[in-house]
A and B are shown apart, each in its own frame.
Chain A
Amino acid sequence: MDTHIKIRNLSVRYAERVVLDNINLEIPRQQITVIMGPSGCGKTTLLKGINRFLELVDDAHVSGQVLIDGQDIYDPGVDVTEIRKNVGLLAQRPYSLPMSIYDNVAYGMRIHQMYRNGPEMDEKVQHYLEEAGLWEEVKDRLHKPAVALSIGQQQRLCLARGLAVNPAVLLGDEPTSALDPISAQHIEQRLIALKQEYTIVLVTHILRQAKRLADYVIFMYLGEMVECGPAQQVFERPQQERTRAYLAGQF
């Protein structure tokens, strides 16, 4: 397996409560990895450990290492804004920034001063909107406020915004759970297309979605990593009792 992200001895606690207990796993490059498990098992915490969003929580204590291409992102010398540029996040509820559609997509590119404003930026904005599958629907109203979009469109806008800073990894925290079925399907299709270029890590509590999308599966339970492996293997020949129980719908 071509490992992109390696997680070593990652433990996370909120005040005294242990949420992740000594996680060790590897995430393959340019595939869709799905982290699944019942609610409260720590999958979102694990996800947020990869883009250092845990620091936004009061009283969160993180120990261990998360190595992306061999570099530990929790190393003190590392700049967290560069990490987050490299690891994008598609959140559960889409939040568009209080600006136009164009400016939303250009936001990250301007922050990191990646391109000059003008035709160069226009081209990039179009490119990423196309990657997110939104271009056709908004090309005539690029400078209208983004809040006017439907929720499915907003999620795709967030996708475009996240891709625009050219990450290597794309995280998704239940990215379709707030959407209607058609928009959800839209997003799923985009993600499948995008895995050609990006390493995608998704969290979901919908088993069927995991089966649709996953190339690689990580099953978590109560803060522990129970089982991981290629999707077909885990779904058809689960090794652990708890995995079997979960797949059978017992909890």
Chain B
Amino acid sequence: MSPPKPNHPGEGRENRPSLISRRRSDQLAGRLFFVFSVIPVALAILILGLLIYKSWPLLKTHFLWQLLFGQVWKPEDGLFGFWPFIAGTFWVTLAALVLAVPPSLLTAIYLSEYAGRTLRTFMKPLLDLLAAIPSVVYGVWGTIAIVPLIQNALIPFINRHFWNIPLISSQNPTGYGILAGAIVLAIMIVPFIIAVLYEILENVPKGLKEASLAVGTTKLQTVRWAILPGVLPGLVAGVVLGASRALGETMAVMMVVGNVIQVPHSILDAAYPLPALIANNYGEMMSIPLYDSALMTAALILMIFILMFNIASALVLQRVLGRKWV
């Protein structure tokens, strides 16, 4: 005698109507969602491609070397030397990093090793708020608070005492210049750098810190000799990531940096970073031949630098943080 049929309703009938339609919608959704997932990849390729395509007219008629390092920018005469803008970008970014990294590192160490819980919970929303403030608002603040400060207090002071020091002395400096841009930019990237550095420090296993403290070190000695050597690559990567954020900042810097086409020689000089070049001149793009290509080349240069920094630091941080992505 055959064994009794199991008492489960519907079993044995594989193709219940509702199951078919559920499967179908699942498969459909799967394919649809996959198509959606192609979007970021397609977009990244498209943006890069379009920028290259639009820059091509300029790139094919000028030597890359001349473009990158040429110092004369006169589009109406067909001269496209990007060096003043590239140099300006790096001056502002470097100065911003110099201003931003030490306090960020110290704050991250303080939060990770010394601060009590209340201080730590207080800091997170504070950093979020700093990061949320829009670029234009930083620009307004820079114009109201920083530029006059430099113009009315710092410059007369320097003129009186330090007027001949290289990197600081400048002809006819106003408050608008690299220093103002660097100060504003520094505050903008501080929350970001603190967040990355803090995460790296928190990732250090507690046992390692305890192993060092157990022989009687101060917390600072533990940080300096037991923690920092191990995380140094990660710290550098975090700073590089902050730099890539700084490279792309447009509005705030543009409003205080002076926008004078020159190769800067001092932090009080005015400069003209690449993003400002693009933002200020898009209106005239079509009026001068190759001008539009030039501006797209500027965007391309910017994007390539940022990509290089991002990829380099992401590779390092992947290992330090043990995650797949940053």
Contacts and interface: CB of A to CB of B under 8 A. Distances in A.
B213 A161 contact: no
B117 A58 contact: yes
Given A53-B210, A97-B211, A112 B230 contact: no
Interface stretch (A83-91, A209-217, A243-251): A83-91
Contacts of A161: 211, 215
A84 B214 contact: yes
Interface string A105-117: 0011001100000
A99 B215 CA distance: 16
A108 B215 CA distance: 6
Interface in A149-169: 158, 161-162, 164-165
B214 A98 contact: no
A14 interface: no
Contact of A89 (B205, B214, B221, B229): B214
A99 B226 CA distance: 9
Interface in B191-214: 205, 207-214
Interface string B139-166: 0000000000000000000000000000
Interface residues of B, number: 20
Interface residues of A, number: 29
B174 to A, nearest CB: 49
A39 interface: no
Main secondary structure of the interface of B (DSSP, over half): helix
A58 B226 contact: no
Given A53-B210, A95-B211, A97-B211, A111 B221 contact: yes
Contacts of A107: 212, 215, 225-226
A30 interface: no
B247 to A, nearest CB: 32
Nearest to A52: B213
B218 interface: yes
Contacts of A88: 214-215
A58 B211 contact: no
Contact of B216 (A81, A95, A98): A81
A82 interface: yes
Interface string B91-132: 000000000000000000000000011000000000000000
A59 interface: yes
Interface of B: 116-117, 205, 207-218, 221, 225-226, 229-230
Given A84-B216, A91-B211, A96-B211, 15 more contacts: A56-B210, A81-B216, A81-B218, A85-B215, A88-B214, A88-B215, A91-B207, A95-B205, A97-B225, A98-B230, A107-B212, A107-B215, A107-B226, A111-B217, A161-B211
